[in-house]
Every structure is written in structure tokens, then in C-alpha cells.
Amino acid sequence: MNLATSLSSVKGVGPKTAEQLELSGLHTVEDLIYFLPRKHEDFSEVMNITDLKPGKRTIKARCESISTRTVRRGMRVTTATLADATGKVQAVWFNQAYRATQLRDSTQEFFFSGEFEFNYNKYQLTNPSTEKVSDLPVQTDRLLPVYRAVKGLKSQVVRKILNELRPLMTMLPETLPESVIKTNKLVSVSDALLGVHFPKTSQDVERARERLAFEELFELMLASQLNKQANAKLESWPIKFEPPVVKRFVDSLPFTLTPAQKQAAWEILQDLEREHPMNRLLQGDVGAGKTVVASIAAIQAVSAGYQVALLAPTEILASQHARTIADLVKNDNITVGFLSGSVTSKQRQPLLEGLKNGQVDIIIGTHALLEPAIQFKRLGLVIIDEQHRFGVNQRQKLLEKSGRMPHLLTMTATPIPRSLALTVYGELEVSIINQKPAERKPIITKTISPVSRKELYASVDKELAAGRQAYVVCRLIDDNPANEAKSVEMEYKKLQNSVFGHRRIGLLHGKMKPTEKDAVMRRFLEHKLDILVSTTVVEVGVDVPNATVMLIEDAEQYGLSQLHQLRGRVGRSSHQSYCYLMMSDTSKPSQRLREVERSNDGFYLAEVDLKLRGPGEIYGRAQHGALNLQVASLADTKLIARVQKAAKDFARTENDLLQYKQLSAHVEKYQRLTTLN
């Protein structure tokens, strides 16, 4: 037997179990020994029911009776009477109706482990977890690992198979370099796996988890470090910083740059001068003014004789950027081109020519810029707006278009918490615009109950009467993208029949043709519309400074970062702006909504979001498979700092990664996932 052995040939695994394992994605011995427990139950201190005191308690009891009833808003409450030789106690579960089936047999003994507390006027065991006593291993360890129940696979089955694999686990070869283990005082991989699957004490579990978390982060951060090293070896075009060029441009702006904008621009201009490609992330909260900063870099690159490409994730955004930048550079002798899927082939031909012979200085566009047909004469700088919307392979394509590696500036308005930036984006230099233009007033955000809809509409209409504009964002019907048009049309009718009957209302949704979308956005920008009813296509980047109201319908259905992004469409001028989070019913606002209500700070909200949802949910699993951290927590900043040091040291001193087979394979996978070059 070895790590690659199929689980179906392990002793005690019958055809039914083998099938369940397969369905759970567990095929080999290796898969199962790395299938880590979700938690550990402590059955070391089983109490008699008569002796119960408040706190987390475990009892060994039978279930005498159990029943479920539905209370307000569909919540299902299951209550049971549990009994041991010393007495009886009530247990209660919320939305776990299956307990009734599980505990039906009143002759069976179970361990119940949960909070014994005073609730609803009596002492109860709340939401206890349960384990059938007869299912426990013969020789019960103090701490019992509990596994994720996938596809009906039971914890005790997993434990039984793992018990067969135990001898193999004791002989596992080390996967981390000896020096890393030593310096960081980690337990061996063998002890770590034995420690999570067969712990004797909670300290065993702690040491094991520390080691496994360390390894997870180490692979990720080493990949980043190696990418950074590789990037530093590539050649790029050094673009000399010419202060008069930059000064002339900055002086021509209708506003003065904030100190944070100046600082970011300075950092970028310094990077451009190097002969190695810049690889920088420009982070700034929505409305902080990233476009201007990117434009400074673009002007400098063009003045030095290079071409610049700016990629945006959507057509609306790309054409808005094209307008903004054409306007910003109108005094200079610079040719700006625009390319997207909706540009006709007739318009396209001269553009392609111009890019190839160098007549077009700045090209702005969508994914269409990535097509192989598009060639540049001397592409010096690539700017990617809303970077997390672009896949790694797409970036690769763009970067292949230049004789040398162009400098790369990525911008994001979804602030990335520091822990995440260190682990996943460790190879990037980071500039942060952490301050908004001075005349901006914080957006006033309020959660609104549907019973107050009339009053709300009245106050929105006052804003419109004062010459401002409003967005109304609505949810898709049935979450079905095919119904986008229907969603906004229904909302339109509703608004028409309200106080807004006499207002000019426009519609925007993802199913419209790019040219139609652009036309609507333009009319809104030119104030030929008072209200824009839209789906979340306005989420990213849209800039209409005169809009001061953002009304989000069914707000509780959106993620925190998304609400903040939507809110960022307003508050872009010196007028007071408002964001209304309209709930779909009268229930209590969630923590998410309360956080958005009380904070305008995207960096703070990103941290909260990371805690509430985890990184994979926010930043997408497809692009960031790396974020599927099983053990490590991004909240563990101490560990992250330790691992960062270890990864840096290792990348600097060790040059034979290949001798560590598993490590190098994982690192290589991560390098591909997170690489920007």
C-alpha cells in the first residue's frame, strides 16, 4: 500500500463505501489522509445530567421523545427530552428537523455535546452535536475527529478506514524542507496527520493544525516569491520620468491631486524607470480617483515613445475610460483608440494598422484587445482596471504582444485585506489611495423597510427636483439572467406608477447590445435621464458625478463588497449623496447591512467581508483556486508573518526546489494560478 493506492482496495472498504468515497472526490489513500476533520469533539468529560452546569457540556443519554414545530418565518424548532440514569434534560435544535429521524430509536445511546444554557425560561442543551455511542471506535480517544459529511459519508466510516491507514501515516516522508521545519519548530508531516486524525490531547490538534496551516501558506507564498523573482529577471522598457511632462498634465487637470494620489503616481513613475517590468497593484476605494493616476503613467509612457493599453472588464466601463482619457489628454498630441466587440471590422482595420505601426498611442478596450490579431509596435505599459475580473491566461495573452514584457499596472476598487494581499498577491508591489478628494461628503446610508417606501420615494424625488440623479438597482427575477430585461421593466413600471411618473427614466441591463448600453449611459451622464433603473451592470466603475442617490432593492440579497461597490456609484461630487438599502421584507437587517450602513470605508468592509464569507466566496474560486485554504486562516496574521519570512528566506537561499517533490508540484500549480507574468 502506498499513497496512490485506490481506497477501494483498503481493508474494510466495500463497494457501497467505495462509491460514496468516489462521489466525495476521495479516490486514493492520499486523498483520505489529507481529508481533514472539520472539528474535534471533546468526549473526555461526560457529565451526569443531574450535575450539569452552564457551559459547553457533553452527556451520554437516550432520547425519550422528540418533535418539531414551525415557528415564525419558517424557522423549525426541534425539541427533545434526553435521559440518563441520573435525570432528564431538554435539548433544542434550530432548523435541524432531521434530528427527529436520527434520534428516533429511544433504546440507542448517544453522546450529546452542546451549550447548556438558560434559554426560553429554562435550562436547555442548545444545538448539541450527536454521536451514536456504538459508532465510536472501540478504543475511544479523548478527542473525536468529526469529518464533513459529504454524499452521505459518515464520520465513523472515515474514522474506520483511517484506522487502517494509520501504520502508513506513521511512515510518511517529510514534505517540507528540513531547514524550514527546524527554524520554525514544526512537527513532522507524519505527526501532523496523526495529530488531526488520532489526537490524544487538544495540544496534539493544535500543533498538527499549526504545521498543516504553515505548509498551506508556505506553498502559496513561496509561489508568489518565485514569481516575483522571475519577474525581476525579465527585461522591460525603461521609461524615463520627465517631471515637466507630468507637471504640465497635472496642472491641466480641473482639480488638484490628493496627497495619496501624488504618492501613488510617484511610486508608479519610479517603477517605470527600471529595466525590469513593473508589477504593481493600485488599490483605492471607489471614487478615490485611480483613473487619473493611471493616466499620469500613460502620459509619461506615451511621451517617452511607447504605446499603452488599458483593459476594462465591461464595455460600459471601457467606453467611459476612453471618453475620460481622451478628454484628459486632449491638449497633448496623443491618439487614443477604442476597441471592443462592437467595433465593426471596417472601423477595426485602420485601428489594427495604427497599433502595429505605432500611430495609436493609447488603446482602450475590453477582452477584444486580447485577440491574437492585435499587434503592437512598442507596448510599454498595460493597465488593467478591476483586475480580479480577468483570468490569468487572458493576462498572459496580452503580455505576449510586446517584444519585451510591458510594465503592468492593475487597479482594483475592491480593497484587498492585507492578509490576502500578502498571501495571494505577495508578488505585487502595492500602492494604496486611502483618501478621497477633500470636498467629498461621506455618503449617508440607510436601511429602509418596505413600509416606508412612499416616504423614501418622496425624499428621492426632492433630490431629483434639485437637479440630481438617481440609480435604482434591482434584482434579477428568479435569479435568472435571461430575465434581466423583465426585471428592469417591472421596476420601471412600478416607478412610473409612483411619484416618479413625470420623471425621465432609463433602463440598463446586461442583455442589451453594447451600443445600446453605451447610449443609455451617455444619456444618463448628459442628464437627459433622471433615474437609471439597472441591474448590477452598473456595479463597477461607472462615473456620473451628478448622481447622488443609490437605491438598492432587495439589498439583503447582495454581498457586502458588492453593496459597497454599488454605493460607490454615488458620492462622486461635492453634493451630499445617499444610499438606500431597501429590504424585501420587514425582518431585522443582517450584520452585513448594518456594517454597510455604519461604515463608508472599503478597506474596513473588505476585512469584515473576508471574516463573514471567506476569501473563496469573495474573490472567486475559479481564478483563485489558491484560496481554498483548508486549515490556515487569513485572520492568523502572526502565522502569515512567520510564513512570509520563511518563504522569502527559502526563495533567496535555496535553488533546488525540485528535490522536494510534493512542495514543488504544489508551488508550480500556485505559480500558474496567481502569476501575472
Residues that bind Mg ion (CB under 5 A): 541
Binding site partner of 417, from ligand ADP, Mg ion, none, Cβ cut-off 5-8 A by kind: none
Across the chain, which distance is largest between two alpha carbons, in Å? 91
Nearest distance in Å: CB 129, ligand ADP: 46
The piece of 135-143, 511-519, 537-545, 621-629 that touches ligand ADP (CB under 6 A) is 537-545
Nearest distance in Å: CB 265, ligand ADP: 11
Buried residues in 546-584 as b, exposed as e (16+ CB within 10 A):
ebbbbbbbbbbebebbbbbbbbbbbbbbebebbbbbbbe
87, 238, 354, 437: which one binds ligand ADP (CB under 6 A): 437
CA atoms of 550 and 595, how far apart (whole Å): 17
219, 530, 543, 595: which one binds ligand ADP (CB under 6 A): 543
- x-marked contacts with ligand ADP along 400-429 as a string, rule CB under 6 A: -------------x----------------
Element housing 116 (H / E)? strand 110-119
- x-marked contacts with ligand ADP along 187-226 as a string, rule CB under 6 A: ----------------------------------------
Query: CA 267 → CA 286, 434, 510, distances in Å?
Result: 20, 15, 37
Residue 571 interacts with ligand ADP (CB under 6 A): yes or no: no
Nearest distance in Å: CB 253, ligand ADP: 8
What does DSSP assign to residue 526?
A: T
Query: CA 351 → CA 127, 300, 336, 364, 365, distances in Å?
Result: 65, 22, 10, 11, 12
CA atoms of 22 and 230, how far apart (whole Å): 39
Binding site partner of 602, from ligand ADP, Mg ion, none, Cβ cut-off 5-8 A by kind: none
Rank residues 437 and 510 by Cβ distance to ligand ADP and give the closer one.
437
Binding site partner of 545, from ligand ADP, Mg ion, none, Cβ cut-off 5-8 A by kind: ligand ADP
Rank residues 225 and 431 by Cβ distance to ligand ADP and give the closer one.
431
Rank residues 286 and 512 by Cβ distance to ligand ADP and give the closer one.
286
E-state strands within 237-378: 279-284, 307-311, 336-339, 362-365
Rank residues 98 and 255 by Cβ distance to ligand ADP and give the closer one.
255
E-state strands within 426-479: 429-433, 444-448, 469-473
CA atoms of 104 and 62, how far apart (whole Å): 10
Report the candidate in 365, 375, 374 with the shortest Cα–Cα distance to residue 337.
365
Rank residues 177 and 287 by Cβ distance to ligand ADP and give the closer one.
287
Q: In the bound complex, which residue of the shown chain has the CB atom lying closest to ligand ADP?
A: 289
Long-range contacts of 23-26 (CB under 8 A, 24+ apart): 23/150, 23/151, 24/150, 24/151, 24/153, 25/150
Q: What is the dihedral sign for C-alpha 588, 590, 591, 592?
A: negative
Rank residues 313 and 541 by Cβ distance to Mg ion and give the closer one.
541
Rank residues 159 and 323 by Cβ distance to ligand ADP and give the closer one.
323
Nearby residues of 254 by Cβ (< 8 Å), 6 or more positions away = none
Nearby residues of 110 by Cβ (< 8 Å), 6 or more positions away = 60, 61, 62, 63, 103, 130, 131, 132, 133
Report the candidate in 149, 109, 112, 111 with the shortest Cα–Cα distance to residue 127.
112
The piece of 11-19, 256-264, 656-664, 667-675 that touches ligand ADP (CB under 6 A) is 256-264
Binding site partner of 231, from ligand ADP, Mg ion, none, Cβ cut-off 5-8 A by kind: none
Nearest distance in Å: CB 570, ligand ADP: 11
The piece of 254-262, 366-374, 624-632, 646-654 that touches ligand ADP (CB under 6 A) is 254-262
Nearby residues of 14 by Cβ (< 8 Å), 6 or more positions away = none
Task: Judge whether 428 and 410 are in contact, CB under 8 Å.
Answer: yes
Nearest distance in Å: CB 527, ligand ADP: 15
Nearest distance in Å: CB 8, Mg ion: 53
Nearest distance in Å: CB 52, Mg ion: 58
Nearest distance in Å: CB 329, ligand ADP: 14
Nearest distance in Å: CB 433, ligand ADP: 7
Q: What is the dihedral sign for C-alpha 178, 182, 184, 190?
A: positive
Binding site partner of 264, from Mg ion, ligand ADP, none, Cβ cut-off 5-8 A by kind: none
Query: How many residues of this chain bind ligand ADP (CB under 6 A)?
Result: 18
Binding site partner of 289, from ligand ADP, Mg ion, none, Cβ cut-off 5-8 A by kind: ligand ADP
Rank residues 573 and 644 by Cβ distance to ligand ADP and give the closer one.
573
Q: Which three cell numbers stand for residue 660?
A: 522536494
What does residue 645 show for φ and ψ, rounded to 5 degrees? -65, -45
CA atoms of 621 and 626, how far apart (whole Å): 8
Strand order in the sheet with 469-473: 444-448, 578-582, 547-552, 469-473, 531-534, 505-508
Rank residues 6 and 576 by Cβ distance to ligand ADP and give the closer one.
576
Task: Say how far residue 564 (Cα) sits from the centre of its chain.
Answer: 14
Q: Which three cell numbers stand for residue 444?
A: 449617508
Binding site partner of 145, from Mg ion, ligand ADP, none, Cβ cut-off 5-8 A by kind: none
Residues 276-335 that bind ligand ADP (CB under 6 A): 284, 286-292
Rank residues 78 and 320 by Cβ distance to Mg ion and give the closer one.
320
Nearest distance in Å: CB 193, ligand ADP: 46
Residue numbers of the site for ligand ADP (CB under 6 A)?
255, 257-258, 261, 284, 286-292, 413, 437, 541, 543, 545, 572
